[in-house]
Chains A and B, each alone.
Chain A
Amino acid sequence: MADLIFIIPLAPLIGFIINGLIGKKLGENIVGFIGCFSIFISFIISILALWKVASTGEAINFSAGLGSWISSGGVEVSIGFKIDQLSAVMINIVSGIGFLIHVYSIGYMKGDEGVYKFFAYLNLFCFAMLILVMGDNILLLFLGWEGVGLCSYLLIGFWYKREDYADAGKKAFIVNRVGDFGFLLGIFLIIIYMGTLDFAGMQGWIDKHPSEVKNLVGSGVITIITLLLFVGATGKSAQIPLYTWLPDAMAGPTPVSALIHAATMVTAGVYMIGRLHFLFSLSDTTMFIILIVGAATALYSGTIGITQKDIKKVLAYSTVSQLGYMFMAMAVGAFSVGIFHLMTHAFFKALLFLSAGSVIIATHHEQDMDKMGGLSKRLPITYRAMFIGCLALSGVVPFISGFLSKDLILEKVFFGSLPAGKLFWIVGVMAAIFTAFYSFRLMGMTFWGKTKMSHEDYHHVKEPHKAMTGVLIVLAVLSLFGGLIGIPEILGGANNFHHFLTGKNKVFTEMVGETHHGALPYILMIISTSLGILFAFMAARLYSKDSSLPDKFSEKGVGKLLYTLSYNKYYVDEIYDIIFVRTIVNGSRILWKYIDVYIIDGAVNGIAYLFKRVGNLGRNLQTGNVNSYALSFIIGTIGVISFLIYYLIKSS
């Protein structure tokens, strides 16, 4: 089994190479088949690995046997994969959902001229993501980290002929890069203080040097390291302040949004914290900061999502918000809960995005919800899939996957050991309210009520390709029933998921110890769920019955102010532009105009000019006049003779 592990990342890599090199000649169908098949192979082996890990409880270690990859200054890093329980879950999510999205893309990208490139990039992305979650050292994780960032850029700007799409790709990459800078600094500090980049090595170092660890914690070094790593996570997982790329990333094709920006890439930050939980749990300050950032992001992006008109942008802000939830869970030490929410979110967010893609294709690339409406009769499968997705997202139906994971998070935050847990619970509930509101607003504007499309456009709308609808059905089933493996004890379940991750091999040592508090957890659950149902219903009524109440609210006074702020994303993009982008551009302009042109070019040109002048002077020696040459002879003679005389005088 251990020997087959390398096939998991290798298959999509081969798919990338084949599709990339000769895909243009192979034709649409073969390219799609190769793309899906390679991921399918990874998925099969991932399932086998999961089964093995679950049955034996032991991690599968695989070493590439290529010797050490980097060996310098006492730090030795080699290429190796380690499938423990956490990785097993992640590779299944990545390859499973990846496979479904590849199948969906066969239908979505039909007829596009760059379809071979698309599948090649998707495969490359899966390769990088798999490396990220399977690597046994931070450097491999970072390699995958950067790889997914690259593929994100390639795929967001896929329709590169439109300049704003290409700009969105650049924005994603650059904002990510800012986060990666912090990440790298964290890695450097780890090298300095622990001397190893292996996860097992790091954990072993911490176990063997308790006094040193205490020193590091006391002096704040661990806090700095974990904060730097978290900066990287904010970039990749779109938290405040580095989230601005994610809404713009909706410029890419919808399968890309589903795979990268809902299910897998943005969860890399959460995974990283889970992987390095032993580091993060050492520093209470960092955990508290993560909690603050996660909660703030969850609430903040929820408030933006309720006014957006583009169907994909609503879902984008929803992703940012849900990622905030995941970080909240990781912050209070409930790592398995965070991963559980990661998994369920992957299911229903992919479902939501793919349904949105189905709507977009069906309405011939119309993305503005203001122009839709009443599509439930024309797109039955899509409508039902999206409805299930929204239910899961808002978590208003008990035992649906989203409900279970979200409520677990809220409960852990409330009872958590971090200060002001109750306050953060309130923030979480408010974010849940907004979530319910915007998801059912989306349903109302898109599917219910009277249509705003023209009569003949409306009758052209029909369900798209079977590949797309089939995937929607599968994902809907997963969203409904996928959470059942994680039902907590208080609701009568065995919480297999939690025990899987914290059980025999102790992947996580969780920080939360308190579990039983009588009736309080149930009361909290009922409060949050009922509030969610209330607001969901409100949104459904407001936006489906053609009520002009939302418009009247946003026309004047406080309502107008709030609406403008929310609709324009609190002008954060503009603020960033002024503070960062303009200063850099102006600074560069100064550097260019003055330093480069005057000083550096001046120096180089000046040297050339100097040589030219000296050469011009020297040119005058060659006069072509016999007399001047004779003069040179005589001068030389005088020189030689005086030299001789000098020596004669000296010696006598």
Chain B
Amino acid sequence: MNFFTLESSIILGLILFAIGAYGVISRRNLLVVMMSLEIMFNAVNLILMAFTYFNFYEKGDQLGHYLVLLIITVAAAEAAVGLAILVTIFRNKKKIDTDDLSEMKG
């Protein structure tokens, strides 16, 4: 049984993306939300890599890999800044629960 195909890689990526989306929407702890965000990044990278590999033919090149590298870079930067913001929030409000952080009334 041939498991390692483009199709199954895409399916894997989608499942991971969905799991990450579930985490972002559902969890109230901001740290876990950011981790679920990383899962989503991962899923996207996986799909990109799958496409660059399985669409490779003689004239193709590794631009997909380069894009994945850039995405990882951006994810790192975003994680850094996001965590810094989270730390600031924690310093100001002493909690990182999204429900308690919401200041809307009614």
B28 at the interface (CB under 8 A from A): yes
Measured between beta carbons, the chain A residues less than 8 angstroms from B33 are: 626-627, 630
A632 — nearest CB in chain B belongs to which residue? Answer: B25
| Bound-complex Cα distance A295 to B25 (A) | 96
**CA A596 to CA B48, docked complex, whole Å:** 67
Pick the interface stretch among B4-12, B53-61, B98-106. Answer: B98-106
Are B98 and A627 closer than 8 Å at their CB atoms? Answer: yes
Contacts of A652 in B (CB 8 A): none
The answer to whether the Cβ of A623 comes within 8 Å of any Cβ in the partner chain is yes
The one of B25, B103, B104 that contacts A627, using a Cβ cutoff of 8 Å: B25
Q: At the interface, yes or no: A625 with Cβ under 8 Å from chain B? A: yes
Q: Is A622 an interface residue (CB 8 A)?
A: yes
Q: List 18 A-B contacts (CB under 8 A).
A: A623-B104, A624-B101, A624-B102, A624-B103, A625-B102, A626-B30, A626-B33, A626-B98, A627-B24, A627-B26, A627-B27, A627-B28, A627-B98, A630-B24, A630-B25, A630-B33, A631-B25, A634-B21
Q: How many residues of A contact B (CB 8 A)?
A: 9
Separation of A535 and B32 alpha carbons in the complex (Å): 118
Q: Are B25 and A625 in contact (CB under 8 A)?
A: no
Given A627-B25, A627-B27, A634-B25, A622 and B98 touching (CB < 8 A)? no
Instruction: Note all chain B residues with C-beta closer than 8 A to A631.
Output: 25
- Chain B min CB distance to A631 (Å): 5
Minimal beta-carbon separation of A144 from chain B (angstroms): 68
Q: CB-defined interface of B72-102 with A at 8 Å, one 1/0 digit per residue?
A: 0000000000000000000000000011011
A627 to B30, CA, bound (A): 9
Complex Cα gap A458–B102 (Å)? 95
* A632 CB, min distance to chain B CBs, angstroms: 10
If over half of B's interface residues share one DSSP class (helix, strand or loop), that class is named, otherwise mixed; here it is: helix
Most buried by A among B25, B27, B101: B25
Measured between C-beta atoms, what is the minimum distance from B40 to chain A in Å? Answer: 10
- Bound complex: CA A622 to CA B103 (Å): 11
Q: Which of A623, A624, A625, A626: most chain B CB closer than 10 A?
A: A626
Residue numbers in A under 8 Å from B103 (CB-CB): 624
Report B-chain residues with C-beta under 8 Å of the C-beta of A626. 30, 33, 98, 101
Q: Which residue of A lies closest to B102 (CB)?
A: A624
Give the residue among B24, B33, B103 with the most A Cβ atoms within 10 A. B24
Contact in complex: A625, B99 (CB < 8 Å): yes
Chain A residue contacts of B21, Cβ below 8 A? 630, 634
A623 CB to closest chain B CB, in angstroms?
6
CB contact list, A607-630 vs B, under 8 A: 622-627, 630
Given A627-B33, A627-B98, A634-B21: A622 touches B27 (CB 8 Å cut-off): no
Q: Which residues of A contact B30 (CB under 8 A)?
A: 626
A452 CB, min distance to chain B CBs, angstroms: 83
In the assembled complex, the CB of B104 is this many whole angstroms from the nearest CB of chain A, namely 4
By Cβ-Cβ distance, the 8 closest A-B pairs, closest first, are A624-B102, A624-B104, A630-B24, A625-B102, A626-B98, A631-B25, A630-B25, A634-B21
Most buried by A among B33, B101, B102: B102
Task: Give the residue name and chain of the A residue nearest to B37 (CB).
Answer: A630
How far apart sit A624 and B103, CA to CA, in the bound complex (Å)?
Answer: 6
Residues of A within 8 A of B27 (CB): 627
Q: In the complex, A622 Cα to B106 Cα: how many Å?
A: 10
Contacts of A625 in B (CB 8 A): 98-99, 102, 104
Which residue of A is nearest B103, CB measured? A624
Assembly CA distance A626 to B21 (angstroms): 13
Complex formed: what's the CA distance from A626 to B89 in Å?
13
* B-chain residues with CB within 8 Å of residue A630 when the two chains form the complex: 21, 24-25, 33
Task: Give the Cβ gap from A45 to chain B, nearest Cβ, in Å.
Answer: 81
| B24 proximity list for chain A (CB < 8 A) | 627, 630, 634
Closest to A626 in B: B98
CB distance from A12 to the nearest CB of B (A): 71
| A648 nearest CB across to chain B (Å) | 14
0/1 string, B41-58, CB within 8 A of A gives 1: 000000000000000000
Chain B residue numbers with a CB within 8 Å of A627 are 24-28, 33, 98
Min distance, Cβ B35 to any Cβ of chain A, angstroms: 13
User: How far is the CB of A92 from the nearest CB of chain B, in Å?
Assistant: 83
For the complex, give the distance between the alpha carbons of A627 and B24 in Å: 7
A-facing residues in B59-76 (Cβ within 8 Å): none
A634 to B27, CA, bound (A): 15
A627 and B21 alpha carbons, distance in the complex (Å):
10
Interface residues of B in 16-32 (CB under 8 A from A): 21, 24-28, 30
How far, in whole Å, are A630 and B40 apart by their CA atoms in the complex? 13
Q: Mark A310-338, 1 if CB is under 8 A from B, else 0.
A: 00000000000000000000000000000
Docked Cα-Cα span, A69 to B26, in Å, equals 79
Within the complex, the shortest CB–CB distance from A390 to chain B, in Å, comes to 87
Return the chain A residue nearest B36 by Cβ: A630
One digit per residue, 1 when the CB lies within 8 angstroms of any chain B CB and 0 when it does not, for chain A 195-210 equals: 0000000000000000
1/0 per residue, CB under 8 A from B, across A456-481: the answer is 00000000000000000000000000
* Cα-based distance from A622 to B28 in the complex (angstroms): 17
Alpha-carbon distance A627/B97, docked complex (angstroms) = 10
Name 19 extra pairs, CB < 8 A, besides A625-B104, A631-B25. Answer: A622-B104, A623-B102, A624-B102, A624-B104, A625-B98, A625-B102, A626-B30, A626-B33, A626-B98, A626-B101, A627-B24, A627-B25, A627-B26, A627-B27, A627-B28, A630-B25, A630-B33, A634-B21, A634-B25
> In the complex, A630 Cα to B27 Cα: how many Å?
11
Residues of chain A lying within 8 A (CB to CB) of residue B101: 624, 626
- Minimum C-beta distance from B32 to chain A (A): 11
Which residue of chain B is the closest to A622 with respect to CB atoms?
Answer: B104
Chain B residues within an 8 Å CB radius of A623: 102, 104
A159 to B103, CA, bound (A): 67
User: Smallest Cβ distance from B76 to chain A, in angstroms?
Assistant: 21
Q: How far is the CA of A631 from the CA of B24 in the complex (A)?
A: 8
Interface residues of A in 22-70 (CB under 8 A from B): none
- Residue of A622, A623, A625, A631 with highest tally of chain B CB at under 10 A: A625
B interface footprint on A380-416 (CB within 8 Å = 1, 0 otherwise): 0000000000000000000000000000000000000
Q: Using CB atoms, name the residue of chain B closest to A638.
A: B21
Contacts of B28 in A (CB 8 A): 627
In angstroms, Cα B21 to Cα A631, docked, is 8
Residue of B nearest to A635 (CB): B25
What is the minimal beta-carbon distance from B13 to any residue of chain A, in angstroms?
A: 14
Complexed CA–CA distance, A625 and B104 (Å): 9
Which residues of the partner chain A approach B26 to less than 8 Å between Cβ atoms? Answer: 627
Q: With A and B bound together, what is the CA distance between A400 and B14 in angstroms?
A: 120
Which residues of A are found within 8 Å of B102, using beta-carbon distances?
A: 623-625
Q: How far is the CB of B52 from chain A (nearest CB, A)?
A: 21
